[in-house]
Structure 1
């Protein structure tokens, strides 16, 4: 992502931020991943009714997520005027493949302020992350 604010909030800049977000998550490069996020980022999982507020908690959530998962971006659509983007991804966890849709919002610097993940089916969250999330 660039330091030039005018470029980071363009449609291309928002797409690049989402690409960087996923590439750094997949590489477990948590410093670079955190650099895509606003301090007050909010992450939501409607299927499990979970919400995480703040960069530190969201970063820790990702660092502690279990399993050897990998992600591949299938498509990104971005709208600079609305400061939003959507991505469709494929996750692999061992032999299992999961598809998900993710909605992103951005601040005026092009940092991610919100992420909402939609997975194919509702599920109960795995144990061990209660200290990071609030249920709704």
Structure 2
């Protein structure tokens, strides 16, 4: 049995996952994934199973999209990222949870794409808008 991945190794794997996606390096992207990876999108209730289908999903994603890593937090088998994502002039943020196997390959990904909204009135004196 192999030893668990270290937090540093998983951090590097997740960083490679995102940088490969941004550069459209689908071979490098696929190398971060386990064969049986499962990708979940709770907001749209979609699930993709398997490396080949998941790479194809990303490869065929429409638009001129780009991403920038805001933060990665990792331990030996789980990581979470905060990503700034643009498609044309539209900007959004995503929070993504990763699970890895003992070889450090990503086995599960769950993406959350929250919608921006205006805050309720009455707290202007407490907050700073950006």
> What TM-score do the two structures reach when normalised by structure 2?
0.85
1:92 counterpart residue number: 86
1:48 counterpart residue number: 44
> Unpaired segments of 5 or more residues in structure 1?
122-136
1:35 counterpart residue number: 31
Instruction: Pick one of 80, 101, 106 that aligns with 1:112.
Output: 106
Tell me, yes or no, if structure 1 residue 70 matches structure 2 residue 61.
Answer: no
The alignment covers a number of residue pairs equal to: 114
> C-alpha distance in 2, partners of 1:14/1:63?
23
> What TM-score do the two structures reach when normalised by structure 1?
0.81
1:130 counterpart residue number: none
RMSD: 1.2
> C-alpha distance in 2, partners of 1:17/1:26?
14
Structure 1 consecutive aligned stretches of length 4 or more whose deviation exceeds 6 Å: none
> Unpaired segments of 5 or more residues in structure 2?
116-130
Higher alpha-carbon Rg: 2
